[in-house]
Structure 1
Amino acid sequence: MCKHVLVFMDTTDAAMKKSCKPAMLGRIWQASRRALNLEHSPPHQFACCQWQSGHRPSTLYLTYRWLLFLTVVSIAIASFACQRLPRLYKGPKVELNYFKWFIYFTNWGYMLIALQAGLALAVVHHYRTERNLSMTCEDDVIQIPRRQKTPMLCRMYWLTHNVATDLAFVITLVYWTLVHDPRIHEVNALNLLVHGGNSVVMLCELALTAHPVRAAHALYGAGAGFAYGLFSAFYWAVGGTDRLGLPSIYPSLDWNKPGSAFGFVALCAVVMIFAHGIATFLAILRLRLASRLRPKSPHLDRLALPTH
């Protein structure tokens, strides 16, 4: 009798362990999906400043959005139009190809900054002109539904904002530590704006925006780094050269030495994850500071966690 009971208990425990494993994996998968998704409620936070009152985007914040967008786009256009060979360059004569502006990682990052600025402006205009923010007002208290589907425009803005922030920090660090050569590169206003002003812009964005920065979204920035690495490898494979006619876009990204090139890409991806960690910390710091200085602010989001 006891033997049968023990056998039954053993088989039951084994069955429970087998059934628990898929359930645990399912929970991990669901948690990962929730952490990586681009859902956030209430979505109108993407259109507002952390330091404003009310739920509708303020006129001052709209003015900031227009000024930032026009400034960033103007700098990008100037960077494209004012291309020239380095003043100290003494190599063979090279005919400048303006479209090679698009092969550089710095310019990829700056285009993303311009794109996120444009999307942010579109989001602000959307919620400024939308009469119904899915909210009802009763005695000056705004009741917001617990869960609202995040519009595609807000998701696109959030994604580009995350990636542009990570790229800006990494580009500034990598350029001034590994790429900049004082014998070739001039330190002028335009160089400082695209290799230092990019990080300043995204720091301002982190200080003013009301939406959270989710730690798991670091994978998107790392993915962008790997995407550029694949692009540079393909560009090298088809015989592409940099603006001086050299076979590699950057000396550290020379695919004639695939081991060191892949190691450089992997290193940049890791640094991007750390850069996103800094951005997440700064966003949390902004929220805590806002909770102390403006405890009644409608844009406090204490937990930067998925809501869907």
Structure 2
Amino acid sequence: MCSKMVSPYCFQEIYDKLYRSFRGREAPSTPGRSGLSSFNSSSSQSLYDRLPCSQRSIPRRESELDDRGIKSTDSKQDDGGAWVNQFRSITRRFRVDLFSHQNVVTLKVSPMRVKEMMKRVWRKEFLVRILRLDHELPEDFLTCQWQKQPGVSIAFLVYRWALALFFMSALICSVVDAGRNVTSKDSQGVRYLKWLIYLTNWGYTVCTLQAFLAACLLTRRLVQERTAVASSDAAPSSPTMSRSYRVYWALHTIAIIVAFGVSIIYWVTIYNPEVNKVDAVNLLVHAFNSLLMLLDLALVSFPFHLLHIFLPVLFTMIYIIFTVIYYLAGGTNKDGKIALYPILDWENPKRSSIVCVLALLFLLFLHLITWLLSLLRFWAHQHLGKNKSELKVVSAASGIV
């Protein structure tokens, strides 16, 4: 329910304008008192009648409404009470009809309601099916959050393939050290193998894999839709939560958290202007990885869950175990040094252990921030776009906005 709610403030402003407009009319039969006794039935009906027909489809009990759809008022009431009842009945009908599809029936959201909404969101994050990487709407993995029509969006498909090809091109440039003067004593084959010992390259590989998998899934869905239309003129069946979607979901979660972590840790703790040259490859693997994954987070429509924190943590722990085994086996980095990173030198195990623990805690923090960003994306989609269209309806219906 909270996911379907819209902000009440836009309508609150409209309500206040209506109230001030109606309250400002003087009732001739009640000197010295503002009222709406002069606000006859035709004017009170106009606000509702000027709404689109689709917004006047909410049934009401006949005992409460007269033939115009407005709540009847007691004829014995004074003019002030009459205009108040007229105003309330009009705005109540206007409000419920306009926002009925959003289940918004109150003008203000109380703190208790907000608290209940947050509890509902929090409870949804701790379901067993989330650990199984299960999702109720598999089609969310095939659509953009901002597309207006259901099905496969050609623009989103082009974006998917462009992103995948970009990651692949940058990956190849990183492997071959494009544009760099390499002075390593190792042979070319050994140097290529040592490309695999860095967490940056592990994360970039995952980014590339998830991008290509997403493009392939979207392409397959487009082929299914076109085939179904060509054969039977019937819509294809809804996709099921298959293993490929689960793999993509896991890879996407790992890629986005590791990309953020690698970029921040590299530029804050590892980057040394005297040693690390800011060239195209360096920017591609330590800056554009995070920017592109942030863009992808803003476009995709599937959720990002808190419980999936075990995926990037498990990925990072596997890398930490690999570095320990690599050190014990006598491995070195591309420069022939024992330490793969300046902050990760297993000749000083105590310091390296502290670094690993802090890195894992930092991943937890990044995962929480990313989850909040995904909620912000969902909130923006639910509120900004729909509020804009609703305000257009209000403007056309009342002429006051």
Report TM bin, short chain: 0.7 to 0.9
Match for 1:77: what amino acid? I
Match for 1:60: what amino acid? A
8 A Cα contact 2:178 2:281, kept in partner: no
| 1:61 equivalent in structure 2 | 156
State the distance in 2 between where 1:95 and 1:240 align: 12
- Counterpart check, 1:122 vs 2:216: yes
- Please report how far the alpha carbon of residue 182 of structure 1 lies from its aligned counterpart in structure 2 after TM superposition: 1.2
- Counterpart check, 1:190 vs 2:284: no
| 2:141 equivalent in structure 1 | 46
State the distance in 1 between where 2:271 and 2:347 align: 21
* Aligned pairs for 1:75-94 within 5 A: 75-82=170-177, 94=185
Q: CA offsets per residue over residues 40-76 of structure 1, 9 Å max, x none?
A: 1110110110011233120000000111111110011
| 2:77 equivalent in structure 1 | none
State the distance in 1 between where 2:337 and 2:221 align: 48
Query: Which of 101, 105, 130 is equivalent to 2:195?
Result: 101
State the distance in 2 between where 1:122 and 1:55 align: 18
Query: Which of 171, 175, 192 is equivalent to 2:266?
Result: 175
The TM-score normalised by the length of structure 2 is 0.59
Match for 2:358: what amino acid? L
8 A Cα contact 1:76 1:111, kept in partner: yes
| 1:256 equivalent in structure 2 | 347
State the distance in 2 between where 1:250 and 1:85 align: 20
Structure 1 vs Structure 2 CA RMSD: 2.6
Query: Which of 50, 66, 73 is equivalent to 2:168?
Result: 73
- Please report how far the alpha carbon of residue 174 of structure 1 lies from its aligned counterpart in structure 2 after TM superposition: 0.6
- Please report how far the alpha carbon of residue 292 of structure 1 lies from its aligned counterpart in structure 2 after TM superposition: 1.8
Q: CA offsets per residue over residues 208-266 of structure 1, 9 Å max, x none?
A: 00101001111211111111100000111111100011112112111111122122112
Match for 1:114: what amino acid? T
- Counterpart check, 1:267 vs 2:358: yes
The TM-score normalised by the length of structure 1 is 0.76
* Aligned pairs for 1:1-308 within 5 A: 33-82=128-177, 94-95=185-186, 97-131=191-225, 149-295=240-386
SS at match of 1:251: coil
The range that moved more, 267-276 or 71-80, is 267-276
Over the matched positions of the two proteins, sequence identity in percent amounts to: 33
SS at match of 2:318: helix
State the distance in 2 between where 1:203 and 1:86 align: 31
State the distance in 2 between where 1:43 and 1:32 align: 17
8 A Cα contact 1:44 1:55, kept in partner: no
SS at match of 2:343: helix
Q: CA offsets per residue over residues 177-229 of structure 1, 9 Å max, x none?
A: 11111111101122111101110011000110010100111121111111110
State the distance in 2 between where 1:66 and 1:32 align: 33
State the distance in 2 between where 1:149 and 1:266 align: 38
8 A Cα contact 2:256 2:293, kept in partner: yes
Q: CA offsets per residue over residues 92-145 of structure 1, 9 Å max, x none?
A: x6235122111101001100100110111112112212249xxxxxxxxx9x98
State the distance in 2 between where 1:247 and 1:190 align: 23
Mark the structure with the bigger radius of gyration.
Answer: 2
State the distance in 2 between where 1:245 and 1:85 align: 18
8 A Cα contact 1:162 1:221, kept in partner: yes
State the distance in 1 between where 2:297 and 2:218 align: 16
How many residues align? The count is 253
- Please report how far the alpha carbon of residue 170 of structure 1 lies from its aligned counterpart in structure 2 after TM superposition: 0.4
- Are the structure 2 counterparts of residues 199 and 112 from structure 1 closer, same or farther at C-alpha, using a change threshold of 3 Å? same
The range that moved more, 33-42 or 287-296, is 287-296
8 A Cα contact 1:49 1:208, kept in partner: yes
